[in-house]
Amino acid sequence: MNNVYQSYQKILIIKLRFHGDMLLTTPLISTLKANYPNAKIDVLLYEDTIPILSENKDINVLHGIKRKQNSVLNTLESIFHVVVKLRKNHYDLIINLADQWLIAPLIKLTNSPKKISLNFNHRQSFLWQYCFDEIITPEGTHIVEHNLSILKSLNITVLKTKTVMDYDIQHWEEIHTQLIQLNADKKYIVIQPTARQIFKCWDNNKFAEVIDNIQSYGLNVILTSGPGKEDQQCIKAIAELCQSPPITYFAGRTTFPQLAALIDHAELFIGVDSAPMHMAAALETPLVCLFGATNHQFWRPWSDNKILIWAGNYQTVPQRSEIDRKYKYLSCIPAKDVTKAALTMLSENTKISQPVTSL
């Protein structure tokens, strides 16, 4: 049957990566829902990434699996339970965006009549190819375009390209109450200085300089981060370097929907290559983002309302295979350039007062 006439009722999308990667699958999810409005769309993902998609209205069920198991036996047992669960759902379309080798036989065992996967250079074995009905070569220069290209064999007529970060109004009410108590419910910007890996981070003293400059314009600065020990140490160190300490209350305390509400109501977001950066883009919050030794074109925020500052414009950065993951490649970016970018975005999107001190 020609796919343009096929009406899928139960669809499963598989992606096993990190929070930001999951958010970048939302245009694919939105597109499937627009073309198959009656379909139930489920997602198989790592259970720790569930919160970033938990409020998405186009998703029926999020099936979480553990990222790491204690042993091979536990891994196989976990996969067995996943297969049993998925088989019971009788998916008539499975879309695979995951490159983990165990995914292919797992999908084959679901007995779905239509199984599509993106093509991965490191997954060319006969077994991998055998487990899918179609292998699609990805197209485009951005990960969102790559994800959407898997649909080309379905003759999709409606394309949704915007990333989506949903949250319930109650999450904003909770955040707003805290902002009032902190006397920070007027104009504020959000800065997330932390990332999963050190090579994506910037220098604490430079963040502090930018914070001081921005606060001189009468704006509150709110620092956010994950709850981990290293993240908390980073937030504390930056705050201590500031002449006027920023608000650190929310660092490590928000859920993803709460963080979305906080970012959504901000005048500006500043951050490095991380999930909150992609959240800001999805929420259409103006943003300034810093990139180092990663493919900044492929992973850039999916938004036009941004200024992207790349370390490669200041010095040579290594290829992915040569990255030293303990080195801060963003250190070559001057604080004054980030301040200038922030003020440019603020002047284009909001009214700011005259600075108390000169830059």
Q: Which CATH class is domain 3-154?
A: alpha beta
| pLDDT level of residue 252 (50, 70, 90 thresholds) | very high
pLDDT at residue 57 is higher than 80: yes
Q: What is the pLDDT of residue 60?
A: 99
Q: What is the pLDDT of residue 355?
A: 56
Averaged pLDDT, 231-241: 98
Burial 69-96 (b: 16+ CB within 10 A, else e): eeeeeeeeeebeebbeebeebebbbbbb
Q: What is the pLDDT of residue 80?
A: 84
Q: What is the pLDDT of residue 35?
A: 97
Please report the sign of the dihedral spanned by the C-alpha atoms of residue 132, residue 133, residue 139, residue 143: negative
Q: Select from 328, 164, 174, 323 the least CA-distant residue to 253.
A: 174
CA distance 171 to 167: 7
State residue 268 phi and psi, 5-degree precision.
-160, 150
The pair of structure tokens assigned to 335 is 């604080």
pLDDT at residue 166 is higher than 90: yes
pLDDT at residue 128 is higher than 90: yes
CA distance 323 to 250: 32
**What are the C-alpha distances in Å from 257 to residues 18, 175, 353?**
16, 10, 31
Instruction: Indicate the SS3 state at residue 50.
Output: helix
pLDDT in tens, 179-216: 999 999 889 999 999 999 999 999 999 999 999 999 99
pLDDT at residue 17 is higher than 80: yes
Q: Do domains 3-154 and 169-349 have the same CATH topology?
A: yes
pLDDT at residue 290 is higher than 80: yes
pLDDT, the chain, mean: 94
Please, are residues 290 and 300 in contact by the beta-carbon 8 Å criterion? Answer: no
| pLDDT level of residue 97 (50, 70, 90 thresholds) | very high
Q: Which residues contact 117 (CB under 8 A, 6 or more apart)?
A: 95, 96, 97, 104, 107, 131, 132, 134, 135, 136, 150
| pLDDT level of residue 98 (50, 70, 90 thresholds) | very high
Element (H, E) at 26: helix 26-35
pLDDT at residue 3 is higher than 70: no
Averaged pLDDT, 31-54: 97
Looking at the structure, give the CATH architecture of the domain made up of residues 169-349: 3-Layer(aba) Sandwich (3.40)
The pair of structure tokens assigned to 303 is 């938004």
Q: What is the pLDDT of residue 7?
A: 87
Burial 265-290 (b: 16+ CB within 10 A, else e): bbbbbbbbbbbbbbbbbbbebbbbbb
pLDDT at residue 354 is higher than 60: no
State percent of the chain over pLDDT 90: 87
Please, are residues 40 and 9 in contact by the beta-carbon 8 Å criterion? Answer: yes
More confident residue, 69 or 214: 214
CA distance 275 to 225: 11
CA distance 225 to 80: 35
pLDDT in tens, 18-42: 999 999 999 999 999 999 999 999 9
Please, are residues 94 and 12 in contact by the beta-carbon 8 Å criterion? Answer: yes
pLDDT at residue 74 is higher than 90: no
> Domain-by-domain residue ranges, the chain?
3-154, 169-349
**What are the C-alpha distances in Å from 113 to residues 87, 107, 309?**
12, 11, 46
pLDDT at residue 351 is higher than 60: no
DSSP collapsed to 3 states, 127-182 = HHHHCCCEEECCCCCCHHHHHHHCCHHHCCCCCCCCCCCCCCHHHHHHHHHHHHHC
Averaged pLDDT, 246-261: 98
Q: What is the pLDDT of residue 353?
A: 56
Q: What is the pLDDT of residue 358?
A: 39
> How does DSSP assign 14-25, residue by residue?
E--S-HHHHHTT
Element (H, E) at 211: helix 204-215
CA distance 83 to 65: 11
| pLDDT level of residue 71 (50, 70, 90 thresholds) | confident
| Sequence letter at residue 97 | L
pLDDT in tens, 315-334: 999 998 899 999 999 999 99
CA distance 154 to 176: 44
